[in-house]
A and B are shown apart, each in its own frame.
Chain A
Amino acid sequence: EIVLTQSPATLSLSPGERATLSCRASQSVSSYLAWYQQKPGQAPRLLIYDASNRATGIPARFSGSGSGTDFTLTISSLEPEDFAVYYCQQRSNWPPVFTFGPGTKVDIK
């Protein structure tokens, strides 16, 4: 079973600052990794898939990188609406089952 670890648990930043979120897998997941944003009381929203591809309608300030076991979500300049919880998620090669990381909360400093 692949386990995802996210760091830090909480990231306190100001609007306009750069956010760097980490996701580490217990074994290689190739590029089978996605990132989601979730705000209180809302469903998750897909940001990044296949490690580095932005989903439809996602602003260019969001970018993903990495492969194998180490992945990064970068928000180049935080907007007020970006303060939320971010989850990484992997899909196993076979069978196609999913695992989420524990999440990183980005809050206002």
Chain B
Amino acid sequence: EVQLVESGGGLVQPGGSLRLSCAASGFTFSSYWMSWVRQAPGKGLEWVANIKQDGSEKYYVDSVKGRFTISRDNAKNSLYLQMNSLRAEDTAVYYCARVQVTIFGVAGVAMDVWGQGTTVTVSS
């Protein structure tokens, strides 16, 4: 079964740090771009970051640039999101998602497998 399982969420004070993890199984993790997507309480979806199969390319939404870092360990089939200098507006459910790939290994249009999400709350 293709599966993504996030962990690492919790309550953190403003200015603090948190590291999210996503464990992948049931597919060849190293063949896919991966993403983090978040959803603030009662709000819509917001894409956060992408990472290429070998980790050589990473892209971020402007609001997290310089604060968040996406990374992966293909040997452990795991995706990570290091979040520093956290703000109240970072409070959200964070989803790990697999990005479709084209036959050339380029990132596809959509995210076809999603985890169940992990909740991050930034509050004093």
Contact = CB atoms under 8 A, between A and B. Distances in A.
**Interface range on chain B: under 10, 10 to 19, 20 to 34, or 35 or more?**
20 to 34
A85 to B, nearest CB: 8
Contacts of A45: 114
Contact of B110 (A46, A95, A97, A102): A46
Interface residues of A, number: 27
Given A89-B110, A97-B50, 20 more contacts: A43-B115, A43-B116, A44-B95, A45-B114, A46-B110, A49-B108, A50-B109, A56-B112, A87-B44, A87-B45, A89-B111, A95-B59, A96-B59, A98-B35, A98-B37, A98-B47, A98-B50, A100-B44, A100-B47, A102-B44
Interface of A: 31-34, 36, 38, 43-46, 49-50, 55-56, 87, 89-91, 95-103
